[in-house]
Amino acid sequence: MSHTMLFAGIDEPGLNTLDVYRRRGGYESLRTALTQMTPDEVLDEIIASNIRGRGGAGFPSGKKISFVPKAQVDKYLVCNADESEPGTFKDRELMQKNPHLLIEGIVIGAYASGASRSFIYIRGEYAEQADVIQAALDEAQAAGFLGEDILGSGFGLSLVLHRGAGAYICGEETGLLDSLEGKRGNPRLKPPFPAVQGLYQGPTVMNNVETLMAMPHIIRMGGEQYAKIGTESSTGTKVVSVSGNVRRPGNYEIELGIPSRELIYDLAGGPPEGREVKLWFPGGSSAPVLTGDDLDVPYDFDSLSKAGSMLGSGAIIVVDDSVPVVDVALKLAKFYEHESCGKCTPCREGTRWTVKMLERVDAGLATPMDLDIMASVQEQIIGNCLCVLGDAMAMPIGSMVLKFRDEFEAHIEAARARNPWAGEEPPDPDPVLVQGSVDA
Amino acid sequence: MISRRKRRELGSTAAIERQYADLVPAPPERDVPRFGHGSRVPGWDDAVDIEKDPAEVPDPASTPVPAPLRAEIEAHMAKYPDFHSATIPALAAAQRHHGWCSPEAIWQTACVMRLTPGYLISLATFYDMFENRPVGRHSIYVCTNISCSLCGADELYHRLCTETAGDPNFNVRHFECLGACDIAPMASVDGVYVGPIGLDEVPELVAQIRDGQPPLPDKQLRLRQSTDPGAARAVAGAADPLSPTTGHGAPMGGEVTGPPAAIEHPPLEEEDDDE
């Protein structure tokens, strides 16, 4: 069942301007929070709402803010708008159409955490969206919703829009921080977590766009009321991006806990005529795949993790039965190979190995034993790196090999039958290539 | 069954691709431009002389920087508590000014920011949107990630490559997920998201870019309305659309409004409180 909160009236013309936004009651939650509540009261509401981060990890946002030390140091709030998880496009639509809600959420979040400076890190490819946000920022600044002494409360906040330059790894929170500090976006060792030591070595609260956009609604409704939406451990609404082989791809705001089938079939229209769902990623391309048998799993954090996958960034990619699973795996592996930052060996080498092995599967040069090797490579990656980029490849690929092993083996056989010189001596290999120095 | 020795001989991906060129669709042939010293990366011959120290922070007296570029970089540096944070916006500004991250662009940015060129080159080679070789003015990023390729993005990319082949004004790249899987297959034309692009629309799109017209004006992302049935309903229903308009049990069922373009907004004046 769809449940509209963030998407309420989102197509209203001019919603990205301050006038329309305020006419619809915008910035009233901010006024309530700043003039009638203390930061601790705001934080209590966020904790009571039990909202979990919408970026991928699903960590309770209130708890995250409460980790920030109370000491008098420069604290920062960073909005993670580097939405690069394949299949995810919810933040793009939200930011483009309702930028002021994001700004309002950032100010409320900063007030609760005591941050005095905030940043929006938006991915470089979102040029149009960055322009929309910058215009909204200027408007909010001129109207006194940002800057010194907001609404006469004595609380001040600066907000800078920072555009990235195209790197998936910068969506990882510590990679983002390094990038925001002007370095290559390499993840950092954790702990210390950003809430303790993050941007410029100061305590930093990092939240996804959608999480911050829920803040004004939490203040308006009250945390307890918000917690009544959804399930007990997955509260609130979630904007889910449905894409791939469906008839109506797009963003759908739902109450967490509805059956996944309803989301894929009723809202997104299901796969094209005559096709069936073969596999689907419930939470972006990093989530282990589920099959058509799992369509009745409720769409919330706990049910999906019980089913062996995760909600992640809330992006469903549907693959129908006309697509070979090897193609999907190879596409994924190539993406992660390209985006691996190269800092940790298991990820840097593991992604490359996986691509090579999948190419051999596709070319008919593999044997079923290679599938076992590939699965073991995935096991070696998971948990052995600073960040989860390697895991993000290993989990879906591992689950595909596990669940579609028959198809992988059939693919190997079929490709080998097509092999033009099966059983013959191969032509003399290029001596340079044999040394393996070319494709490094 | 292929012997271990044969497999070792075939071990490299490049070798496999060569042997199976007819089975694995190869990307269209594109010349890899190389610089005089044979490298694909400009300026790397400067450091191969081991007698030579790495480039230092450029001397302002001998590094002229165009005034608009200097002003833009300094404005970026002023925004952050630590000026290092401005490196990515500064490099982006330099790239806009010079067309690519040329040695002059790097040296001028380094001069204004008082950083070594090596530091900036390390960034320019890390981030995908920085160009390390001269490219065409019009960048077309085609998303070929999983959602888009399920909808035929690879064919679109190949068609765009062949359509623009030989034209130095184009920079066609396949890119990581661009975050627009709802309009798959799509492309970002100089930052403007367009999609879904049919293969038959490619010549029209390329012609529009050549003529400096907006690309496929009726297929641009910013015009697209939300597909969520609740989004339209909320506008129709409430004076305070911030409040949720569909309760826990509100009937929403299988009745979904058709294509997004069909959603019509009532005039704003008619918003009355019937919640």
Q: In what order do the strands lie in the sheet with A76-81?
A: A158-163, A117-122, A76-81, A204-208
The mean pLDDT value for B93-103 works out to 94
- A117–B192: do the CB atoms touch at under 8 Å? no
Find the CB nearest A167 among B11, B84, B127.
Answer: B127
pLDDT digits (tens, 9 = 90+) for B108-125: 999 999 999 999 999 999
Residue pairs between chains A and B whose CB atoms are closer than 8 Å? 284
The mean pLDDT value for B208-214 works out to 92
- Answer whether A253 touches B (CB < 8 Å): yes
Q: Which residue on chain A is closest to B225 by alpha carbon?
A: A11
- What pairing do the DSSP bridges indicate for beta strands B138-143 and A290-291? unpaired
pLDDT on residue A365: 85
- B229–A2: do the CB atoms touch at under 8 Å? yes
pLDDT at B31 over 80: no
pLDDT on residue B240: 43
Burial class for A32, CB neighbours closer than 10 Å (0-12, 13-18, 19+): middle
Residues of B in contact with A10 (CB under 8 A): 226, 228, 231, 234
CA-to-CA distance for A306 and A327, rounded, in angstroms?
27
**Judged by CB atoms within 8 Å, which residues 172-191 of A form the interface with B?**
179-185
pLDDT digits (tens, 9 = 90+) for A314-356: 999 999 999 999 999 999 999 999 999 999 999 999 999 999 9
As for the ipTM of the complex, it is: 0.89
Q: Nearest-CA distance from A152 to chain B in Å?
A: 24
Binning pLDDT at 50, 70 and 90, where does residue B9 land? low
Binning pLDDT at 50, 70 and 90, where does residue A11 land? confident
pLDDT on residue A440: 39
Find the CB nearest B9 among A2, A362, A426.
Answer: A426
- Substitution target in A4, A231, A362, A433 with the highest count of B β-carbons within 10 Å is A4
CA-to-CA distance for A290 and B259, rounded, in angstroms?
28
pLDDT on residue B246: 37
Q: Nearest-CA distance from B207 to chain A in Å?
A: 22
Through-space distance between the first and last CA atoms of chain B, rounded to whole angstroms:
71
pLDDT on residue B257: 38
pLDDT digits (tens, 9 = 90+) for B145-179: 999 999 999 999 999 999 998 899 999 999 989 99
Q: For the whole model, what pTM was predicted?
A: 0.84
**Judged by CB atoms within 8 Å, which residues 191-210 of A form the interface with B?**
200
pLDDT on residue A233: 87
| Percent share of chain B, pLDDT over 70 | 65
The mean pLDDT value for A209-220 works out to 94
pLDDT on residue B256: 38
pLDDT at B275 over 60: no
Mean per-residue pLDDT of chain A: 90
Q: Is B14 helix (H, G, I), strand (E, B) or coil?
A: helix
pLDDT on residue B262: 38
pLDDT on residue A50: 92
Q: Which residues of A402-430 are buried (b: 16+ CB within 10 A; e: fewer)?
A: ebbeeebeebbeebbeebeeeeeeeeebe
pLDDT on residue B210: 93
Number of helices (H) and strands (E), helices first, in chain B? 10, 4
pLDDT on residue A420: 61
| Percent share of chain A, pLDDT over 70 | 95
Ranked by mean pLDDT, the top range of A8-12, A264-268, A433-437 is: A264-268
Residues of A in contact with B227 (CB under 8 A): 248-252
Find the CB nearest A25 among B23, B130, B242.
Answer: B242
The mean pLDDT value for A182-200 works out to 92
The length of chain A in residues reads 440
Contact between residue A95 and residue A131 where contact means Cβ atoms under 8 Å apart: no
Residues of A in contact with B192 (CB under 8 A): 127-128
pLDDT on residue B40: 66
Q: Nearest-CA distance from A60 to chain B in Å?
A: 23
pLDDT at A403 over 80: yes
pLDDT at A385 over 70: yes
- B92–A89: do the CB atoms touch at under 8 Å? no
Binning pLDDT at 50, 70 and 90, where does residue A51 land? very high
pLDDT digits (tens, 9 = 90+) for A109-145: 999 999 999 999 999 999 999 999 999 999 999 999 9
Contact between residue B106 and residue B117 where contact means Cβ atoms under 8 Å apart: yes
pLDDT at B35 over 80: no
- Answer whether A44 touches B (CB < 8 Å): no
pLDDT on residue A415: 87
Contact between residue B77 and residue B86 where contact means Cβ atoms under 8 Å apart: yes
Residues of A in contact with B184 (CB under 8 A): 243, 249
Find the CB nearest B176 among A24, A168, A266.
Answer: A168
- B145–A362: do the CB atoms touch at under 8 Å? no
CA-to-CA distance for B91 and B73, rounded, in angstroms?
8
pLDDT at A19 over 90: yes
Position of tokens 């998971």? A382
pLDDT at B53 over 90: no
- Substitution target in B6, B143, B147 with the highest count of A β-carbons within 10 Å is B147
pLDDT on residue A363: 85
Q: What are phi and psi of A315, to 5 degrees?
A: -125, 120
What are all long-range contacts of B3-6, with beta carbons under 8 Å and residues at least 24 apart?
B6/A425, B6/A426
Binning pLDDT at 50, 70 and 90, where does residue A418 land? confident
pLDDT on residue B225: 87
Dihedral, CA atoms, B115, B120, A208, A332, nearest 10 degrees?
-160
The mean pLDDT value for A406-434 works out to 70
Binning pLDDT at 50, 70 and 90, where does residue B21 land? low
Q: Which residue on chain B is closest to A26 by alpha carbon?
A: B242
- A166–B175: do the CB atoms touch at under 8 Å? yes
Binning pLDDT at 50, 70 and 90, where does residue B252 land? very low
Binning pLDDT at 50, 70 and 90, where does residue B14 land? low
**Judged by CB atoms within 8 Å, which residues 293-332 of A form the interface with B?**
315, 317, 319, 323, 328, 331-332
pLDDT at A421 over 70: no
Q: Which of A49-63, A181-195, A281-295, B235-249 has the lowest mean pLDDT?
A: B235-249
Q: Which of B18-27, B55-64, B161-170 has the lowest mean pLDDT?
A: B18-27
pLDDT at B82 over 50: yes
- A241–B181: do the CB atoms touch at under 8 Å? yes
- A182–B225: do the CB atoms touch at under 8 Å? no
pLDDT at B267 over 70: no
pLDDT on residue B43: 61
